[in-house]
A and B are shown apart, each in its own frame.
Chain A
Amino acid sequence: MNVQQSPLWTTQTSGARLTGTWRSALPDYRFTPSPCLAACPVNGRIAEWIGKIGKEDIRGAWETLIDNNPFPAIAGRICHHPCQSACNRQYHDETVSICALERYVGDAALAEGWRFNPPAEERGERIAVIGGGPAGLSAAYQLRRRGFQVTLFDAKPKLGGLLRYGIPDYRLDKNIVDGEIERIVDLGVEVRLNAEIADAAALKKLRDAYDAVYLATGATSSKKLPGLDYNAPWVVDSADFLAAANAGNPVATGERLVVIGGGSAAMDVARTARRLGKRVTVLSLEPEDKLPAQRVEVDEAIEEDVVFVCGAMMRAVRPAAGGLALDCARVEFTPGKKRGEFAITPLENATFTLEADAIIPSIGQNADVERWRGLLGVAGPVIGTDGVWRTSVAGIFAGGDVASMDRFVTQAVGMGKEAAVEIARFVMGETAGSGFDVGPTLPFLEINTHYYPKAARHVPATAAVGERLQGFGEVQERLAAEAALAEAQRCFSCGNCIFCDNCYFYCPDMAITKLEGGYEVKSDYCKGCGLCVEECPTGSVRMREDTQG
């Protein structure tokens, strides 16, 4: 039945009408760094790798992680996780457990034996890295990935720095340290162990023999408590104590220990001593709510029967019946402007005595800047560097604890990465970069929280106290697969498109086209209403002024 249609009925579609002329603003797709990325010392693309966990692509998540950090299993255990303090989700319900998710991925990689790909091309330039802690290893890794020839020198018989000789097993199992370091070495890093670079002259020689040098010798000497006789048999150096315990040969001490200090290292000493069966008291200048250690460390120490005497100082030690008597006074503690600065006033009418068999001062570590005197300029207590980790000597770069007071493992990893970028520029004759600021981050208000129903945070389980004190097994457990998946889905993916197609579907004008891996706005039709922006869950599309039509 083929009826001839009257021309009267022939219409054209409205496509000929270009409604784009109506608008005054046009949507713009763009990546914006999430606050967690900016806060993360290695600037990890957190939203991206968490998104991959959410899609159960753990391998993909790991590949993204290792762009910036070769140590996800280590960082996932002991990172101070400033990302979580910055996380936008805290303004909705609770922060995302980024650190536990990182461990989840890092552990999968070790269990599966995933390796790093060899560099795409080999290059001739030779770089010496001094110090095999997190800063030096991170730099060596990033330089090898770029094809440079790397020789890594360390004074110790094994690599790892404080990862191995400082942080105790119950927080960081040494099999994890071995596993993640081995992968880096297998990339083709030439390792020289028991190879201390003794002084400025030796450093200069290395600089002459290599195209560039990275100095990452850490902060290896313990700060000394004034007035304490370090030669006395009952004074034990905290670094020695931890290194020995980590190596399985604990230093012999009496039963009752007083640990002096309130930071993470003091917690590690105290809790290690508890695991060796000692009775432990922590004596700190800071009141309990101002202890520099992380709160969870303090809480776990309290659970493990560490006794805290906070807001007090030791003024003298004298032998007493069956041990030592520590003459102490309560203090008034006034925090200073910068982290770590403070003033104290002893309260004369509040004195007391503690009994002990040994004292372990754990009040921090100093960088050994003296060793390089005459060659490298210093800046206060550390080696001086500019914004891109160049020291006063061309071709010598520095980072980690030796060059910074940001004394955390992932800070060191981040500094190592940044230095590698700059070293690569230097040896290839390029101009130095202008710094590593990632710019403004995505504000919480740009998240459409409707798409993220409130959901409780998943935190990893911890071992029972009784079990913990039996040995050095890890306290914190790995998230279970279901919990990791659910936690990953809590992430807003701030500023990072998840290809949900909301912008495409909510456009009343069909002005958005889906492309391979992205979207395009048809400026002929977009009326500039902003619905796509409003209904974007992640803040990945924004309006910008556009009056051209």
Chain B
Amino acid sequence: MELISYQDEGQFVSGHVACGGCAEALAMRVILNTVGSDAIGVVSPSCSAVICGGYPMSAVKIPMFHTTLESAAASASGVKRALVAQNKPDTTVLCFAGDGGTYDIGLQALSSAAERNEDILYICFDNEGYMNTGGQKSSSTPLDAVTGSTPAGKTTRKKNLIEILAAHRIPYIATASPSHINDMRAKIEKAKAIRGTKVIIVLIPCLPGWGVADNAAVRTARKAVEAGVFPLLEIEDGVNYRLSVSEKGDSIESYLKEQKRYRHLDADHIARLQAETDFEWRRLQQRVADSPARNP
């Protein structure tokens, strides 16, 4: 059995107000302890902002700058430039945002920062919806998922933000899952050492938002990875793809079964989602195979 290995340096503390069993808090624990104390955080309105804590209590040992929903990447760029001006170029600027703040409302700011290759480590906690405001759909909500604003299931696909980011040719893009803690830690360490824009999208099965049992967020995330619904990947310079988990299982059903938001699906819908998953997986394999680093 592979053991989990990282040092909890106490960078994230008990008493935060995440739901019991929240995988976002779990991921924050890994990320904050891996990034360490020489860092400044920028956080957009989202569950992560709530978990970091409102004045006068903070669950996070580094300073956190609470910005607007539109401007996480822009604020982070500013903080980084100010640090450089103060001759502190090695201080990590860590940005926390939700999928609403990344795929939708903050996309312009992120795209601009990425185009300028700002030296920020941007973490998107992707719980596939506007969750701290009660669970509305975002452009990250997947096809067929029920949210407060898509009561019969969403009729459009999840936006492929990874490809949008890859098109910016930033040095590092990765996905991570709270079920794969060592992989998450390794990706944070790697990103931290790279200068330029780094974006890591972390899948967060939201307990109330997805209708997942209190003890099941990690298991659900693991099933997403194993079913190929949420592949764990890295993209360097927008072109070199690598999969951290290179096999996928045959069926997404066990993943769907963990969640109430898919409870209404009949066999035809499940088959359609399966076909989509298989198709995307094949495309990803192709991208891995076509990566220039593999074809010198």
Chain A contacts to B: CB under 8 angstroms: 10-19, 22-23, 450-452, 489, 498, 500-502, 505-511, 522, 524-525, 527-531, 533-535, 537
Residues in chain B near residue A505, CB distance under 8 A: 4, 6, 8, 181
Number of interface residues of B (CB under 8 A): 36
Residues in chain A near residue B217, CB distance under 8 A: 531
Residues in chain B near residue A14, CB distance under 8 A: 13-17, 53, 57-59
Residues in chain B near residue A522, CB distance under 8 A: 14
Say whether B115 faces chain A, with CB atoms less than 8 Å apart: no
Say whether B3 faces chain A, with CB atoms less than 8 Å apart: yes
Given contacts A502-B4, A510-B8, A11 and B16 within 8 Å (CB-CB): no
Given contacts A16-B15, A535-B218, A537-B1, A530 and B21 within 8 Å (CB-CB): yes
Binds A, one of B23-31, B100-108, B162-170: B23-31
Given contacts A508-B23, A510-B8, A500 and B56 within 8 Å (CB-CB): no
The answer to whether B4 and A508 touch across the interface, beta carbons within 8 angstroms, is no
Residues in chain A near residue B22, CB distance under 8 A: 508, 529
What does DSSP make chain A's interface, helix, strand, loop or mixed? loop
A-B CB contacts (within 8 Å), total count: 112
The answer to whether A13 and B58 touch across the interface, beta carbons within 8 angstroms, is yes
Instruction: For residue B16, give the distance in angstroms from its CB to the closest CB of chain A.
Output: 5
Residues in chain A near residue B23, CB distance under 8 A: 508
Instruction: For residue B189, give the distance in angstroms from its CB to the closest CB of chain A.
Output: 16
The answer to whether B58 and A508 touch across the interface, beta carbons within 8 angstroms, is no
Q: Could you list 13 further interchain pairs (A-B, Cβ under 8 angstroms) beyond the known A522-B14, A534-B218?
A: A10-B56, A11-B55, A13-B59, A14-B14, A14-B58, A14-B59, A19-B15, A19-B17, A498-B1, A500-B1, A508-B18, A508-B29, A529-B20
The answer to whether A12 and B3 touch across the interface, beta carbons within 8 angstroms, is no
The answer to whether A11 and B215 touch across the interface, beta carbons within 8 angstroms, is no
Residues in chain B near residue A498, CB distance under 8 A: 1
The answer to whether B216 and A534 touch across the interface, beta carbons within 8 angstroms, is yes
A489 to B219, CA, bound (A): 22
* Residue from B15, B29, B53, B58 in contact with A525 in the complex, judged by beta carbons closer than 8 Å: B15
Q: In the complex, which residue of chain B has the Cβ closest to the Cβ of A534? A: B215
The answer to whether A11 and B56 touch across the interface, beta carbons within 8 angstroms, is yes
The answer to whether A11 and B218 touch across the interface, beta carbons within 8 angstroms, is no
* Residue from A13, A22, A510 in contact with B29 in the complex, judged by beta carbons closer than 8 Å: A510
The answer to whether B16 and A509 touch across the interface, beta carbons within 8 angstroms, is yes
Instruction: For residue B128, give the distance in angstroms from its CB to the closest CB of chain A.
Output: 19
Residues in chain A near residue B59, CB distance under 8 A: 13-14
Say whether B214 faces chain A, with CB atoms less than 8 Å apart: yes
Given contacts A14-B13, A505-B181, A529-B20, A451 and B218 within 8 Å (CB-CB): no
* Residue from A11, A452, A509, A534 in contact with B14 in the complex, judged by beta carbons closer than 8 Å: A509
Residues in chain B near residue A535, CB distance under 8 A: 218
Q: Specify which of A452, A489, A527 lies most central, judged by the most chain B CB atoms within 10 Å of its CB.
A: A527
Residues in chain B near residue A531, CB distance under 8 A: 21, 26, 214-215, 217-218
Instruction: For residue B178, give the distance in angstroms from its CB to the closest CB of chain A.
Output: 8
Residues in chain B near residue A451, CB distance under 8 A: 1
A19 to B18, CA, bound (A): 10
Q: Specify which of B1, B4, B6 lies most central, judged by the most chain A CB atoms within 10 Å of its CB.
A: B1
Instruction: For residue B83, give the distance in angstroms from its CB to the closest CB of chain A.
Output: 13
Instruction: For residue A529, give the distance in angstroms from its CB to the closest CB of chain B.
Output: 3
Say whether B122 faces chain A, with CB atoms less than 8 Å apart: no
Residues in chain A near residue B6, CB distance under 8 A: 505
Instruction: For residue A77, give the distance in angstroms from its CB to the closest CB of chain B.
Output: 30
Residues in chain A near residue B218, CB distance under 8 A: 506, 531, 534-535
A507 to B27, CA, bound (A): 10
The answer to whether A19 and B14 touch across the interface, beta carbons within 8 angstroms, is yes
Say whether B137 faces chain A, with CB atoms less than 8 Å apart: no
Interface string of B142-185 (1 = CB under 8 A from A): 00000000000000000000000000000000000000010000
Residues in chain B near residue A537, CB distance under 8 A: 1
Residue contacts A-B, CB under 8 angstroms, 28 given: A10-B56, A13-B61, A14-B14, A14-B15, A15-B15, A16-B57, A17-B15, A17-B17, A18-B15, A19-B16, A22-B20, A23-B20, A450-B222, A452-B1, A505-B8, A507-B26, A508-B18, A508-B20, A508-B22, A508-B23, A509-B16, A509-B18, A509-B25, A510-B12, A528-B20, A529-B22, A533-B215, A537-B1
A507 to B217, CA, bound (A): 12
Given contacts A500-B3, A505-B4, A534-B215, A11 and B21 within 8 Å (CB-CB): no
Residues in chain A near residue B19, CB distance under 8 A: 527, 529
A458 to B57, CA, bound (A): 55
Q: In the complex, which residue of chain B has the Cβ closest to the Cβ of A543? A: B215
Contact residues, B2-56 vs A (CB, 8 A): 3-4, 6, 8, 12-26, 29, 53, 55-56
